[in-house]
Amino acid sequence: MKRYLSTMFLILSAIILIIGLRFDYQWSGIASWGLSFVCLIFAAYFTKYIPNEKREKNQN
């Protein structure tokens, strides 16, 4: 399940940006970009759980 978290956070950041920038409230741009940035950091963190097929072939 952890290997899919990177993709889920990337999609979530795109959804946050699309929805957040549609609203025309004060500070909505800063809030949506901030949440998107946090999601991108989590997506980068969870890339270490994506399996590396080259490494698995070399170990066998």
- Which has more pLDDT, 49 or 43? 43
The b/e string for 6-29 (b: 16+ C-beta within 10 A; e otherwise) is beebbebbeebbeebeeeeeeeee
Q: For 5-24, what is each residue's pLDDT tens digit?
A: 999 999 999 999 999 888 88
Q: Which percentage of the chain shows pLDDT scores above 90? A: 52
Handedness of CA 6, 11, 12, 16 (dihedral sign): positive
Measured CA to CA, the distance from residue 34 to residue 30 in angstroms comes to 6
**What is the rounded distance in angstroms from the CA atom of residue 35 to the CA atom of residue 31?**
6
Query: Based on the structure, what is the number of domains in the chain?
Result: 1
Residue type, position 58, single letter: N
- Whole domain around residue 33: which residue ranges? 2-59
pTM metric for this prediction: 0.77
